[in-house]
Structure 1
Amino acid sequence: MTEKQLAIVTGGAGGIGFATAARLTARNVDVLIVDRDSDALETAGRKLAGGPGEIMTQLVDVTRPADVTACVDAVLAKFGRIDILVNIAGGAGPRKAYQIDDIDIDVWDHVIELNLKSTFLFCRAVMPTMRERNYGRIVNLSSVIAYGEKGVPTTVTARLPYATAKAALIGFTAQLAKDVAAHGITVNTLSPGLILGDPGTRIRDRFDTLPETERARMLAAYPIARPGSPDEVAAAIEFLVSEAASYVSGVDLPIDGAYS
């Protein structure tokens, strides 16, 4: 692609989303970051401003079809194109639940909607324009938790619905990649392991408040012997949305220091 590109990054005010937006704007890609945290959006927009690519922000509830449709329609009205979609929005919810009978229906629904439904909604919304132009790059964020995790929950709160949603995203991506391949659209997932951002970010704060023995137990599962950084995930995203990855589609790429 020689024309300037437009990317939407959901969950763009968080660690991985912010790092992804930074890499894309540095490549002269115009980026719309969407998030539900207005303060974090404002901070991210301010920090990312001034790069070669234009940075824009929009407050969106990614689980609401009307919000997602309005967001995509606004982008198309202004730019006439969407080349890249990176679905990072997600999470395991605010309440820790270990056993299946500890999980309320509202917790289950919230986690499934935040991770899986949001990805479906954004992929569905951008598909007509990508298909019409015979071009698109989509990256969805799964997790090593999709394959299960031993022991009591640590940084992942409602782990069972989170694992379910992240596993479903791998199947969703594999099928969608086959359905749209003839239209020049690639769809891939990344499955990060323990990724820690700066102090003050959600997962970093949960990790830092764990007892030292729990932190050591978590890190012992990673042969590389350290957590990953948001930028290490963003680097993989940058590759998957590039022309160099035009023959890579339907894969799930672990970013996990040999955890898997």
Structure 2
Amino acid sequence: MTAQQAAILTGGAGGIGLATAARLLAKGFDLLLIDRDQQAIDRAMEQLESEGSRILPLTSDVVREDEVAAAVETAVKAFGRIDALVNIAGGAGPKRVTDIEEIDTDVWDHVIDLNVKSTFLFCRAVMPVMRGQQYGRIVNLSSVIAFGEKGPPTTVAARLPYATAKAAIIGFTAQLAKDVAADGITVNALCPGLILGEKGSRIRDRFDALPEEERARMLAGYPIGRAGDTDEVASMIEYLLSREAGYITGTTIRIDGGNL
């Protein structure tokens, strides 16, 4: 009998994270759900059903090395193994800046750390466990912004450092996949386009607050004619974490409605 699988999910309390958590629980994963927002975690726990699975909520700062190590240790103690890691935690920061001359080093460091450092820290922390199992699945969240965006920033605040961070995740994923493939570990990245989560989620609220003409301009960049749904990303994450996806590694998959 195959042991029940266990996953760590960062940024799991809303948007893509919440949709992914629901799918993994339905699939029978035990789950350590990490987010920095305790209220968001509380709301998520009210929505998520975990029949047959254990779900542990954890408020943690994903850029602090000691807290990342403690989170991974919590998962190992609770579940006995870590089969999957999904790095969703990230963001473009709260400060809206456009021109490079306006970007101070505090903004730059915050966005780079939140996206790239957090991904590195969690991947490094789970690696001894996954190597020991000779099995693991890792999915890192990049963004279509990694390839640049025309026009003024809309739902992305500090766009230049965010694009840099998300591009770095693509390179990080490609190299790590090659480094750990012989240990039965796959590493892939996803590049979502405009994905609107539930009411109250960060991107949804920013999109809804835009003038109608700005929303129309954004959607015009998507040939499919609409924004994406969080479950459309979560379904791909679910597949990449499956045993059936064992021959897919080091790749970056765009989920962007044909955005060019």
Kindly indicate whether the alpha-carbon contact (under 8 Å) linking 1:27 and 1:52 is maintained by their aligned counterparts in 2: no
Kindly indicate whether the alpha-carbon contact (under 8 Å) linking 1:33 and 1:56 is maintained by their aligned counterparts in 2: yes
Match of 2:246 in 1: 246
In structure 1, what is the Cα distance between the partners aligned to 2:198 and 2:84? 26
Match of 2:202 in 1: 202
Q: What do you get for the CA RMSD once the two structures are aligned?
A: 1.0
Kindly indicate whether the alpha-carbon contact (under 8 Å) linking 1:196 and 1:230 is maintained by their aligned counterparts in 2: yes
Q: Does 1:12 align with 2:12?
A: yes
Structure-to-structure mapping, 1:36-185, within 5 angstroms = 36-185=36-185
SS at match of 2:213: helix
1:184-238 C-alpha deviation (Å, 9 max, x unpaired): 0000000000000122111111111111111111000000000001100000000
Q: What TM-score, normalized by structure 1, do the two folds share?
A: 0.98
In structure 2, what is the Cα distance between the partners aligned to 1:71 and 1:243? 24
In structure 1, what is the Cα distance between the partners aligned to 2:113 and 2:125? 16
Which runs of 4 or more aligned residues in structure 1 lie more than 4 Å from their structure 2 counterparts after TM superposition? Answer: none
Q: Does 1:235 align with 2:235?
A: yes
In structure 2, what is the Cα distance between the partners aligned to 1:71 and 1:182? 26
In structure 2, what is the Cα distance between the partners aligned to 1:123 and 1:227? 30
In structure 2, what is the Cα distance between the partners aligned to 1:134 and 1:63? 27
1:135-184 C-alpha deviation (Å, 9 max, x unpaired): 00000000000000000100000000000000000000000000000000
Sequence identity, in percent? 65
SS at match of 1:155: coil
- 2:236 partner amino acid: A
Match of 1:259 in 2: 259
- 2:20 partner amino acid: T
Kindly indicate whether the alpha-carbon contact (under 8 Å) linking 1:45 and 1:56 is maintained by their aligned counterparts in 2: no
Q: How many residues align?
A: 260
SS at match of 1:190: strand
Unaligned runs of 5+ in 1: none
